[in-house]
Amino acid sequence: MKTIRLSIIGFGAVGQGVARSILSKQGYINKQGINLCVVGIADSGGCEIDDKGIDLMGAITRKKQTGTVATCAESAFDLISNVEHEIIVEATPTNIKDGEPGLNNMLTALNSGKNVVTSNKGPLALRFSDLKEMAEDNGLFFRYESTVGGAVPIFNLVHEAMAGNTVIGIEGILNGTCNYILTRMAEERLPYELVLKEAQELGIAETDPTYDVEGIDSACKLVIIANSIFQDAVTYRDVDITGITKITPEALELASKNNYVVKLICEAGNGTLTVAPRLVPKRHPLAVGGTLNVASILTDLAGRITISGKGAGSIETASSILSDVLHIARNS
Amino acid sequence: MKTIRLSIIGFGAVGQGVARSILSKQGYINKQGINLCVVGIADSGGCEIDDKGIDLMGAITRKKQTGTVATCAESAFDLISNVEHEIIVEATPTNIKDGEPGLNNMLTALNSGKNVVTSNKGPLALRFSDLKEMAEDNGLFFRYESTVGGAVPIFNLVHEAMAGNTVIGIEGILNGTCNYILTRMAEERLPYELVLKEAQELGIAETDPTYDVEGIDSACKLVIIANSIFQDAVTYRDVDITGITKITPEALELASKNNYVVKLICEAGNGTLTVAPRLVPKRHPLAVGGTLNVASILTDLAGRITISGKGAGSIETASSILSDVLHIARNS
């Protein structure tokens, strides 16, 4: 049995989802000859560190009861730098201004010989090529399946499952909140403000929804796609962005009468990066409803491959993180 | 640069598609540090063998002009057994009665230390577990992405891209001919016989369409899914099969009025294997039209992931074969 030690940096919904997934899939993982051992967890309150392996259920319970996982005052930096392990799972919240604290966590990990798996879009939308280069220079894995599309494995699909294909273009719906709002507005003929409020009550939209509805989240994801799949050294600032806040129920109704739906579509591939509302024929593979995410990938050999699934949720995001962790465990 | 030598056994549309893909993607493949060298090609007329690498364009031209690739009388068996190489691409036609000649080609390859990549469903629908076991016993790869879904990478998706997930169930449309016939019947309100004739004229259906329209091809694919994903040691005879020949335009019209389409759906996961026409809501992710194939995969962590694309075509099939070849080249 190969033991792979990891730390979880950031212990909110995603970090806890990773802990729960490792617990629930222990038998499955062991069957593959792999023993995943979490030796450290960090949140903003401090750390828990145990080189024999942390009691994950205990950590989740303590977090719930006390608001922090911390049992010692060491920082995430200390954990990443000084505790021996192979992989950090960086799951702190996305910050699109300067990428912190995720960016520093990732740089520290790559500098101290640790592989990085992350769900944090901020550092990748700002410094993708630096991070990739540093990982390559140090012979380390840098994997980020869960940053785009939630449970939908877009990068694994393109880089591994469809190896041999050159991607010509990608279009997708990469923000479940916008998709939910546009779907409900069209189906119920309700104005934007009302549906946004409903989405906030259901926990589908944040109290400050700017990041989603102005297309910023979609743009970050598109930047990661452009860097990862098209090797374009672009950042968030290179995306032409239009959000969904100005769409009216009347526009959606007119579209519907002509057999179209309106979707916030991300497009990459022709040298430009665009996030904007687009008319999509109702029977088009991109016309998925609710909170679903979808990516339609045009390739030279396989033609067009379309994949859809849940774009958010702690267990769904953890699913993509776990696939990255297992990829590293199998190949290192 | 790592040189991987391969043979192509069967040089019809798929085998030639593989040769063309290797030619057109040479730069891409070399960039990954891999040199693919085809040292032998076999068809029913004989073989071409060259341990320095065959002129693939010359082989395709000769096949077109003379009907065979053969430049010597050696058989496929001789090529597989006696010529040093790492991978055979088995692309002879599917035979569901006894799996030959593909079955013998694969057994010979695995017995003589060669990895197997195949597009041939027959041997897998009859002897999957034997082939898998023999490959494992000999430490060899046995890969078959192109047998199901054409260009849609179902197995790579489940086994690699979504590693960590347990698959609960799979539903899919796995035969493009049936999907085309049902789509056209519904859209044009035409009877089965007329649309079948149209499909035959377009080359979408065979002169003898039994294999497709009676659900046999779908059943073979479902058996491969059941073996590969659910580890069920089942064969073609374990599938409950109903074809599409008895579906009337009236039934499709009635379905449409209620916002349904009729599709030939393959289902695996609850211990039974079924191929049968089913009512599918028009907005359901499985409701793809034309000749498209689709698989909807229900998992424990990622939830439902749906993937669609072209289910047939020589380059599309070659795309899946190439991804398998590259997987072996990277990991051996």
Other beta carbons within 10 Å of A8: 30
Cβ(B146)–Cβ(B324) under 8 Å?
A: yes
Q: Does the CA dihedral A123-A128-A134-A135 come out positive or negative? A: positive
Q: What percent of chain A has pLDDT over 70?
A: 100
Q: Of B280, B300, B305, B326, which to mutate for an interface test with A (greatest number of A Cβ within 10 Å)? A: B305
Cα B108 off chain centre by: 21
Candidates A152, A285, A313; nearest CB to B305: A152
Asked if B220 reaches chain A (Cβ–Cβ under 8 Å), the answer is no
Question: If residue B48 lies in a helix (H) or strand (E), which one and from where to where?
Answer: strand B46-49
Q: Which of B97, B318, B59 lies closest to A300 in space, CA to CA?
A: B318
User: What is the SS3 assignment for B1?
Assistant: coil
Count of CA atoms in the C-beta half-sphere (13 A) of A318: 22
Q: What is the 8-class DSSP label of residue B84?
A: -
Other beta carbons within 10 Å of B182: 22
Annotated binding site of B for NADPH: 121
Q: How confident is the model at residue A270 (pLDDT cuts 50, 70, 90)?
A: confident
Give yes or no for residue A35 having a pLDDT over 90.
yes
Annotated binding site of A for NADPH: 121
Residue with tokens 């075509």, as numbered in its chain: B313
Rg, C-alpha atoms of chain A: 20
Q: How confident is the model at residue A332 (pLDDT cuts 50, 70, 90)?
A: confident
Name the token pair of A109. Answer: 């990990």
Asked if A168 reaches chain B (Cβ–Cβ under 8 Å), the answer is no
In single-letter form, the type of residue at position B35 comes to N
Q: Inter-chain contact B323–A163, Cβ cutoff 8 Å? A: yes
pLDDT value for B270: 81
d(CA A264, CA A279) in angstroms, rounded, equals 9
Mean pLDDT for A74-82 is 96
Tens digit of each residue's pLDDT (9 = 90 or more) over A102-159: 999 999 999 999 999 999 999 999 999 999 999 999 999 999 999 999 999 999 999 9
CA distance B297 to chain A (A): 10
Catalytic residues of B: 221
B30-55: b (≥16 Cβ within 10 Å) or e: eeeebebbbbbbbbbebbbbeeeebe
Cβ(B302)–Cβ(A292) under 8 Å?
A: no
Annotated binding site of B for NADP(+): 10-15
Other beta carbons within 10 Å of A166: 14
Candidates A289, A300, A326; nearest CB to B164: A326
Hey, what domains does chain A have and what are their CATH numbers?
Answer: 2-151+314-331 (3.40.50.720), 167-310 (3.30.360.10)
Torsions phi, psi for B307 (to 5 deg): -135, 135
Asked if A307 reaches chain B (Cβ–Cβ under 8 Å), the answer is yes
Residue with tokens 């430490």, as numbered in its chain: B139
CB contact set of A47 (below 8 Å; sequence gap of 6+) = A40, A41, A69, A70, A71, A72, A73, A74, A75, A76, A78, A79
Asked if A13 reaches chain B (Cβ–Cβ under 8 Å), the answer is no
From edge to edge, which strands make up the β-sheet containing B115-118? B46-49, B34-43, B2-9, B87-90, B115-118, B142-143
Of all residues in chain B, the one with the smallest CA distance to A293 is B305
Q: Of A29, A158, A319, which to mutate for an interface test with B (greatest number of B Cβ within 10 Å)? A: A319
Name the token pair of A151. Answer: 């449970």
From edge to edge, which strands make up the β-sheet containing A87-90? A46-49, A34-43, A2-9, A87-90, A115-118, A142-143
Cβ(A44)–Cβ(A76) under 8 Å?
A: no
Mean pLDDT for A58-75 is 96
Tens digit of each residue's pLDDT (9 = 90 or more) over A177-189: 999 999 999 999 9
What is the 3 state secondary structure string of chain A? CEEEEEEEECCCHHHHHHHHHHHHCHHHHHHCCEEEEEEEEEECCEEEECCCCCCHHHHHHHHHHHCCCCCECCCHHHHHHHCCCCEEEECCCCCCCCCCCHHHHHHHHHHCCCEEEECCHHHHHHHHHHHHHHHHHCCCCEECHHHCCCCCCHHHHHHHHCCCCCEEEEEEECCHHHHHHHHHHHHHCCCHHHHHHHHHHCCCCCCCCHHHHCCHHHHHHHHHHHHHHHCCCCCHHHCEECCCCCCCHHHHHHHHHCCEEEEEEEEECCCCEEEEEEEEECCCCCCCCCCEEEEEEEECCCCEEEEEEECCCHHHHHHHHHHHHHHHHHHC
Report CA-CA distances (Å) from B50 to B70, B114, B118: 12, 17, 22
Give yes or no for residue A285 having a pLDDT over 90.
no
Residue with tokens 């079955």, as numbered in its chain: B103
Low-confidence ranges of chain B (pLDDT < 50): none
Mean pLDDT for A45-70 is 97
In single-letter form, the type of residue at position A20 comes to R
